Amino acid sequence: MFALSEVANGVAEIRIDRADMDLNVMDQDAVAEFAGVIDRIAADDLIRAVLVTSAKKTFVAGGDLREIVAADTLEKARALVDANRVCLRRLETLGKPVIALINGLALGGGLELAMACTYRIAADTPAVKLGLPEVGLGLIPGAGGTQRTPYLIGTEETLKLALSGRPISAQQALDIGLIDELAPADGLVAAGLAAIEAGVVPATQPWDRHQYTGVLPDPETEDGRAVLGKFLRAVTGRAARNEPAPAAIVAAMRAGLATDMDAGLMIEQDQFAQVVAGPVSKAKIKTAHFGVNAAKSMSMRPRDIPRYEIKRVGVLGAGQMGSGIAHVSAQAGFEVALLDISAEAAEKGKAAIARNCETAIAKGRMSREAADALLARITPVTDYAMLDGADIIVEAVSENETIKHKVLAAAAARLRPGAPLASNTSTLPITGLAEASPRPEDVIGLHFFSPVDRMPFVEVIRGEKTTDQTLARSLDFIKAIRKAVIVVRDALGFYTSRVVGAYTGEALTLMAEGVDPVQVDKVALAAGMPLGPLTMADITSLPLMIDLFGSVTGDGTRPGVQGWRAIEAVTRLVNDFGRTSRAGGGGIYDYVDGKPLPWPGLADAFPPRTERMPDEVVEKRLMYAQALEAARLIEDGVVATPTDADVGSVLGWAFPTWTGGVASYIDMVGAAKFVADCDELRAEFGDRFTVPQIVRDAAARGERFNPA
């Protein structure tokens, strides 16, 4: 993986090239090999300087996450970074100039390796991204990220980088001092040699010099305490119960800055071991990394179907969802016919896309040229004849079965055999919608999430007659628009809508029982949900919620709705009190300047409880309701695996990532405890808390519900 050679005049090159992977990843074997190369350099007096380069399009992408998942004790977790700590410390104390030539991604352990070099030059190209993304996987930097970075860019910038996990560009890295130079992508080695000959590359690190005069504030000064205190307050409290990594990052930095580098690295190693040995990091890695990457790879695609060539896409409906689908299709390079009932409506949809492009330009995410090219590929139309030649058509009209049948039938008449005809429906069974087409085998469900241009996920629903060819071609389309996907079987409400319905339905049932909506929403937020369920109901609109609950309730006999009061609660608010939504002037809450406030009339609709329900019980009801419904859908074969359920929950409705997802949440609680808790909830609140046999069996065997 590490090839050592001479470049010129005593300057050696360490060229990193991991043959068994697409990216350079540092596992324990790689670290051992790297240490051997460093020993050779230390022993060779003819080597006066070193260039560290990559043979791949990236520099180093970080550590091997499989090793982290396998480290189930503090001792194993410490051992993961112990050799790397010694290796990088040896590199930076060689007493020779060492330059990292960063040609692509330098993330996590890759950036930490670069910081252990005494100088850093990055290619002036968008391909270069630098960052400490560990927090997104429930980890902290373990190879010096919390210790070296403050000496280069200061405490506040380091905490912004490490706590957000977001990568920055080469120019941004130069501006804050994380790198020393920019150079053309094809001139990195030349730039490195020039810097050595110019004498600008130090042989020691700033933290090892006696006279350090950098950007680092003393943590014991007023400024230092203010900076660390601000971030410490942001990562402690109830949120720390669920996400230990942010507080561990601040703690490692705070303690490390009060001592020398060697002691600081040991402190970081200890904090790293604690989060690695805990359950949160493993849950997040399994879902947010391995699960999501599998969902992006289209591993579920039928392999015997040739790749589908797509050039032209038809989108039916230019509303929020339709315009979003048109946006991502055009962004992928496809020509798009955006159809609506009137030219005004179709043009309005394109105008919404143009506004999104302007926002992206203003934020530096898109160039003017790219935006103009994207918009040029979208043609607003009203005539179904303009769909001729489409390689796929996606229907995104209102969630009304009659309307959907009408537009699907009209589109099917123009679509060539074999081209997928997709419905963006959230609840209506695909098998029934397919009856609108003379070729039901070409019909499939593609459930997008709003806003389409930012949400990374599509739920694919296979109808009873959907063929492998239709599935494969639809997945080729989704891959082209760069979304992750799970494939589910056609059923009442599919997967995501059924589970989200269980969540919102339980919240409305709590409200109908007299629990304060503010308490319900606060408990949900504290558990890690992105939005309170009752706030979400007001945003969605209560009349629409009636239709959605009707779509997922069926004949009322399925276990998940036993004892439910969701439809009763929403219908009473709409019909008896005229409460509709936030946009309609008020629903569950009143709104002042867009902010929700308690609605005094709620007590007339649902008299409040005489005793406050404990937050713990409210949380269990909200979270367990989702896990139970997901487990039922896995047991029924609607969702193929618990990992698919986890990925769909994290990407689809932002189920808390610290749990690993809605199925792994059962394991986070403990399958045996989950079963016992649900039995108690069932006895008190109804049969919807009945535990599926698949979960009881896992608990009885002492196994994880999601063993992946």
Catalytic residues, by residue number, are 112, 134
Cα angle, residue 587 at apex, residues 584 and 588 outer, rounded to 5°: 165
Return the ∠ at Cα 303 (arms to 325 and 293), rounded to 5°. 55
Q: How far apart are the first and last CA of the chain?
A: 30
Instruction: Supply 405's token pair.
Output: 């049948």
What is the total residue count of the chain?
A: 708
**Which 3 state secondary structure label does DSSP give 148?**
helix
Radius of gyration, CA atoms only, the chain: 28
Residues 6 or more apart whose CB falls under 8 angstroms from that of 625 comprise 502, 503, 505, 506, 560, 688, 689
Q: How many Cα atoms occupy the beta-carbon half-sphere of 531 within 13 Å?
A: 13
Prior bond of 219 cis (ω within 30°): no
Strands of 335-339's sheet in order across: 378-381, 335-339, 312-316, 392-395, 421-423, 443-448, 457-462, 484-489
Structure token pair of residue 673: 């405890």
Q: Where are the beta strands (DSSP E) in 496-655?
A: 589-592, 595-598
DSSP state at residue 581: B
Place of tokens 């047991």: 635
Report the 10 Å Cβ neighbour count for 362: 9
29 contact partners, CB below 8 Å, separation of at least 6:
none
8 A C-beta contact, residue 103 and residue 79: no
Alpha carbon distance 407, 437 (integer Å): 10
On whether the CB atoms of residues 88 and 38 are closer than 8 A, the answer is: no
Q: Is 700 helix (H, G, I), strand (E, B) or coil?
A: helix
Joined tokens for residue 402:
């009659």
